Structure 1
């Protein structure tokens, strides 16, 4: 069995690869860099997962230099046809995950990239490969309350970030493709993925680790240098619009990868199946802000429903804490009934995320020597 995987060197993709390698078969990883430099990057990402990999890794995995944003994935027509004919499964995990990147960049990578990956599946002669598309639970967009069903996909509430809009559009592309070709597509919608494992230098980071690393740099700078008019050494309270009871769905990457592979090796029950890879218990945003205060004690971020628009300094500080600020009014829940039914108890629910876990997740890359700007 040959699996084609995009995003193998990313945070989720590397965990997916580790779990795929527990099963028989070969993997062709579509990467931006091949050769020895590409292998170093892939092995670094795999090492950071903490998962074992086979001794014959380089015999079972082939690195294929490609670009999902390009037609034919940047491959020659001959190689594109050959790969399409060889693939038994295609996993599309690669994405631009910058929440506030320019819309045209997000569309090029997340929307057109999905279209190009599906074009590979369509080019397969005879039977077509199994298709697994990694989306996000945040395609729910601007819906702030209620319970989001796993088969729900609409844009009536708008979107909180351009990233969400791009992933919504990518799912629309996948649904249209599935109906046009009468071929199943499995869509996996994870929450915000994280781990409490320390991340070595150069390893892919999750959003909380990135925010923690930036905050650790910020903590070493005096607020008076960043905020004109602030006395040296003084604490600074940043009030941002939001509800004190707002929640965010955080999920352990180890659980998400295990469940994803488990789901993908069962027969699809519908033309398009969507599953929420989410934690059964949402995390209060206030818990995350409390951990952030521990990393950068002089910065006290508070949720205030009456807070006005942020000034330039406030906007810059909000950028440091990552994408959490976009969801500070969200109270919605994610239905997981289809996920539970499909798993049939094969994988127990993830453990609760306590204060110790959250602290470790935010500090996962704090000791990294990689340059981090604020």
Structure 2
């Protein structure tokens, strides 16, 4: 059985590849052209995770690569090679995407929506009936700020804060229509903010907290007007604001295991989330300690003070999502994230290193 993976060298993708290799799967990495081949980047990641030489040799024999252009209708392969690929795939993990909160809607759609459409075309073109494991996001809930988001609901009535949210919503909607209209087989995963407390290394992309920290560092160095007084920054935080953060290692394990157990009778959508949100005040305080800055919070900023949300799109996004998420489908499989250990200040501090 051949398992194809898009986005295999992304932050989540690398962890999914590790889980799939641990189960002995033969992998076809559908990767963008890059100076460093995808298997080399995967091997560097595995080595950093502690894989020994026997594991690395086994991984090499289980991986091959096809370079693709996700935004092209035939994935940049041409009609003949596209059909040849379609006839080989048994399972496809679609993890690739444009994840920047600063992207325009056109940019986000080109990768997230058109790319998904082209993947669905691939899965419909072959001799087999492959399973699609589609990595969506809890961001499909858009600008909804409160309440519990259900796994069976895909609703755009709240609108969207960012083009990223809208593009992920539209991509998931494509998948559901493909299943309903063409009899496709799919399981959808909606992870929340995925992080890790393990040290970074060159082969691993940054996770959202590290991206936010980099943006904060840029603001502190280039826009000192954001400091309300020497060594102090004031950030707007609505009362009770919180965000959902989950260790990527657990997410990857739960997703692969759920896909292994998938049948046509099981629910097609899984929220991959933490049962406990992290208070935004705790996240902000950890960021402050990381940079040696005192951080005050206020519901409303004083008149005339620059609003950091303009400089930090990721922070502006997190301010708007204090909602929680149903996670019954993974829980029924025994794969929901346990309540402890919690994502606390010590974990967050390690995740920022």
> Same-fold call, TM > 0.5?
yes
Q: CA RMSD in A?
A: 2.7
Query: Could you tell me how far 1:303 is from its partner in structure 2?
Result: 4.1
2:345 maps to 1:352: no
User: TM-score if structure 1 supplies the norm length?
Assistant: 0.85
8 Å CA contact 1:148, 1:333 repeated in 2: yes
Matched residue pairs, number? 351
Aligned to 2:99: 97
8 Å CA contact 1:21, 1:54 repeated in 2: no
Query: Could you tell me how far 1:184 is from its partner in structure 2?
Result: 2.2
**What stretches of structure 1 of length at least 5 have no aligned partner?**
364-374
Query: Could you tell me how far 1:117 is from its partner in structure 2?
Result: 0.7
Aligned to 2:116: 114
Aligned partners of 1:228, 1:259: CA distance in 2, in Å? 44
Query: Could you tell me how far 1:359 is from its partner in structure 2?
Result: 0.6
C-alpha deviations, 1:212-247, integer Å up to 9, x for none? 34445666x4xxx6335979x81343332x413111
Farther off after superposition, 102-111 or 175-184: 175-184
Task: Rate the CA distance shift 1:211–1:303 in 2: closer, same or farther, 3 A.
Answer: same
Aligned partners of 2:64, 2:111: CA distance in 1, in Å? 23
8 Å CA contact 2:148, 2:324 repeated in 1: yes
8 Å CA contact 1:7, 1:13 repeated in 2: yes
Aligned to 1:32: 32
Farther off after superposition, 202-211 or 16-25: 202-211
8 Å CA contact 1:212, 1:362 repeated in 2: yes
8 Å CA contact 1:283, 1:353 repeated in 2: yes
3-state DSSP class of the match of 1:279? coil
2:245 maps to 1:255: no
State which of 231, 242, 245 in structure 2 corresponds to 1:235: 231
Aligned partners of 1:310, 1:187: CA distance in 2, in Å? 45
Aligned partners of 2:303, 2:82: CA distance in 1, in Å? 50
Aligned to 2:187: 186
C-alpha deviations, 1:131-183, integer Å up to 9, x for none? 10001012111111111111110101111221111100001111111111112
Aligned partners of 2:159, 2:8: CA distance in 1, in Å? 31
Aligned partners of 2:4, 2:226: CA distance in 1, in Å? 55
User: TM-score if structure 2 supplies the norm length?
Assistant: 0.90
